[in-house]
Amino acid sequence: MKNILVITASIFGQDGQSSQLVKKTLDNLKAQHPGVSVVYRDLAANPVPHLDADRFGAFSAATDERSGEQQRVVDYSDGLINEIVEADTIVLGVPMYNFGIPSALKAYFDHIARAGVSFRYTAQGPVGLLQDRPVYVLAARGGIYAGTSNDTQTPYIRAFLGFLGIKDVNFVYAEGLNMGDDHKHEALDGAATNIDALIA
């Protein structure tokens, strides 16, 4: 392993529980792979613009017909996709906000899903164009959602990354973090144990 891409999306920055779980995962990976290069992308501190008609138009415009601004939008998206292409492993911190992923993460996803670049349509359906690689998703939640219909994150993230060709997606959950200190500490300890087992 040479390169790790770390993506966080907590509005609490590095103090967020999902970010702390990301740090634990990264520490484990770095211990196993000394000298590994790490690229950090904090979507809360440096948000990706939300997709609008102008940005979508830039993605769909023919290369030789793009305006200067459209080309800048495409170059920005290409840079995000290239970070994934160059990463051997992705570590993704995902807090749950109102039953879903953070809007900053959704905006990021909207910029890495590009027809003809990260996926393509065929007569048999869409085909992901990104090479598979391990993704560790550290999911922090105030309540208990895993395995229930209220967990919209897990199926969405699996489906989205699978759509791009990335299927080796591993989840670690820390749940019930707002259900009292005892429950919080137990959940975080359990998540840490699961990270140790996953990265062993």
At 82, phi and psi to the nearest 5? Answer: -65, -35
Beta bridge partners of 138: 93, 172
Query: How much is the pLDDT for 200?
Result: 85
- Please report how many Cα atoms fall inside a 13 Å half-sphere around the Cα of residue 78, on the Cβ side: 9
Tokens describing residue 115 = 């027809």
- Other CB atoms closer than 10 Å to residue 110's CB: what's the count? 18
6-15 confidence digits (pLDDT tens): 999 999 999 9
Q: Quick one: average pLDDT of 20-46?
A: 97
Q: What is the C-alpha separation between 84 and 90, in angstroms, rounded?
A: 8
Quick one: pLDDT band at residue 1, thresholds 50, 70, 90? confident
Q: What is the CATH number of domain 3-199?
A: 3.40.50.360
53-107 confidence digits (pLDDT tens): 999 999 999 999 999 999 999 999 999 999 999 999 999 999 999 999 999 999 9
> For the chain, how big is the Rg over CA atoms in Å?
18
pLDDT for residue 191 is more than 90: yes
- Please report how many Cα atoms fall inside a 13 Å half-sphere around the Cα of residue 84, on the Cβ side: 24
123-180 confidence digits (pLDDT tens): 999 999 999 999 999 999 999 999 999 999 999 999 999 999 999 999 999 999 999 9
Q: What is the C-alpha separation between 107 and 21, in angstroms, rounded?
A: 22
pTM of the model: 0.95
